[in-house]
Amino acid sequence: MSQRLNVLISAYACRPHEGSEPGVGWNLVLELSKYHRIWVLTRGNNQIPIETELSQHPVSDLNFIYCEPSQVLAKLNQNLRIVHLHYYLWQLKAYWVAKKLHDEINFDIIHHVTYVRYSTPSFLSFLPPPFIWGPVGGGETTPNQFWQSFSLRGKIYEILRESARRLGEVDPFVHQTAARSSLARGTTQDTVDRLKALGASEVEVYSQLGLSTSEIATLNLKSNNHERATRFVSIGRLLHWKGFHLGLQAFAQANLPENTEYWIIGDGPERQHLQQLAATLQIDHQVKFWSQLSREETLNKLGECLALIHPSLHESGGLVCLEAMAAGCPVICLNIGGPAIHVTEETGYKIAVQTPQQVIDDLASALVQIAGDPDLWKHFSQAGQERAQTQFSWESKGLAQAKLYQNLLQTTSP
């Protein structure tokens, strides 16, 4: 790296040793500090885990600035009760903190990392340095024909989610964030289309997800299990849009041996409905609900299964797909959203999304093929491991991001 830049990162969610958005924030800034001088604006409630980690494993050129809109709001937001309001007001507070900090340090680049949400503005875009927005997500929607299979609770959720997206899109500050971005990244093509509509000029698809070297090494060990039973698995919160009901119907329809199993790991409001569906389909003796397990237990179970069924109907990410690939477990997903970015035809099946019955039919066909062809399974397994390691390691993503900063600074300099 020819020059160490001063970079300000906005990472509302940022914590060590966690997954999801906090993991995205932490892992990226950790890698970037190898190449540039990094300042991270994050929430006050992240301070204890971050400072504890840094006291044990110091990192040079990585500085954290903790801010909260107010202590009253922080208390009201316990258990994320008013998270969207808190996040919006935090962005305002972060701007004033960053403005003062910029006067002292003179940042070369400003980058918004988390939340990965396109319909909320980042006021840091109003500062002078080149601004990178994202990757951000949330532009995905459930295809209309799939709403019929949702419960009333699920339909209300979808209506509220869509309303929140549309409300965000009329916020003038969201439009300003898009227009002022030197580069805007969307996690999926759906979000990229929304970013363009908001006024972003330089836009690209880029996944926010990654795996650390240690995570990849741990997951690779799971692939050494050469005695995998004919068993499929789905992992995640039991929510209507995760599409596990489609997985159950496909499993029931597939012509598989009687001793084939389907494990569902996770918990949530759809659990009872899914259990009733399994009984109605007369496959409840083959389906096992494991509830919520620890990460280690979940990954161990993943290593005991033939393939991951992940029929999510709208999702910006899908970290479990990367974890499965790294563990040598082929993925069967829908050809929409984040999973469609991570999975290729070399690493698993991406099912076209036209009608619910067509999806069920094609999922069932994929289950039969992968269960009946060991050579195909081996090909998917090895290709998935290679893709996870070369394309989605935090080390490779951090290096690519660090180079992007320098390239962007050169193209935006007078």
Q: 384 or 150: which carries more pLDDT confidence? A: 384
Which of 78-87, 229-238, 287-296 comes out lowest in average pLDDT? 78-87
- Residue 349, pLDDT > 70, answer yes
> 412 is written with which tokens?
């935006």
* Band of pLDDT at residue 414, cut at 50, 70 and 90: very low
pLDDT tens digits for range 378-392: 999 999 999 999 999
Which of 131-145, 159-173, 222-236, 341-355 comes out lowest in average pLDDT? 222-236
* Band of pLDDT at residue 74, cut at 50, 70 and 90: confident
Predicted local confidence at residue 164, as pLDDT = 87
Q: What does the pLDDT average to over 170-185?
A: 96
pLDDT tens digits for range 25-52: 999 999 999 999 999 999 999 999 999 9
Predicted local confidence at residue 412, as pLDDT = 67
How big is the CA angle at 225 (ends 220 and 231), to the nearest 5 degrees?
A: 110
Predicted local confidence at residue 317, as pLDDT = 87
> Helix (H, G, I), strand (E, B), or coil: what is residue 42?
strand
Asked if 116 and 161 touch (Cβ cutoff 8 Å), the reply is no
* Band of pLDDT at residue 303, cut at 50, 70 and 90: confident
**What one-character DSSP code corresponds to residue 142?**
-
Q: What does the pLDDT average to over 192-196?
A: 95
Taking Cα atoms as reference points, which of 59, 109, 31 lies closest to residue 398?
31
Residue with structure tokens 């980058």?
Answer: 111
State the burial class of residue 110 (Cβ atoms within 10 Å of its Cβ: 0-12, 13-18, 19+). Answer: buried
Q: What does the pLDDT average to over 138-145?
A: 89
Predicted local confidence at residue 313, as pLDDT = 93
Q: 150 or 64: which carries more pLDDT confidence? A: 64
Q: Kindly provide the residue ranges of all beta strands, DSSP E only, lying in 115-250, ordered along the sequence.
A: 131-136, 183-186, 203-205, 231-235
- Residue 413, pLDDT > 60, answer no
> 194 is written with which tokens?
């929304």
Half-sphere CA count of 400, side-chain side, radius 13 A: 12
The domains of the chain, with CATH numbers, are 6-210+393-412 (3.40.50.2000), 213-391 (3.40.50.2000)
Taking Cα atoms as reference points, which of 287, 306, 309, 290 lies closest to residue 298?
290
- In percent, the amount of the chain with pLDDT more than 70 equals 97
Q: What is the pTM of this model?
A: 0.90
Predicted local confidence at residue 227, as pLDDT = 59
Asked if 264 and 244 touch (Cβ cutoff 8 Å), the reply is yes
Q: What does the pLDDT average to over 341-364?
A: 95
Q: What does the pLDDT average to over 105-116?
A: 96
Taking Cα atoms as reference points, which of 135, 151, 147, 172 lies closest to residue 316?
135
**What one-character DSSP code corresponds to residue 80?**
G
- In percent, the amount of the chain with pLDDT more than 90 equals 72
On the question of a cis peptide bond just before residue 157, with omega within 30 degrees of 0, the verdict is no
**What one-character DSSP code corresponds to residue 211?**
B
Q: What does the pLDDT average to over 193-204?
A: 95
| Segments in 60-134 forming alpha helices (H) | 71-76, 83-105
Tally Cβ neighbours within 10 Å of residue 2: 5
Q: 3 or 65: which carries more pLDDT confidence? A: 65
pLDDT tens digits for range 95-110: 999 999 999 999 999 9
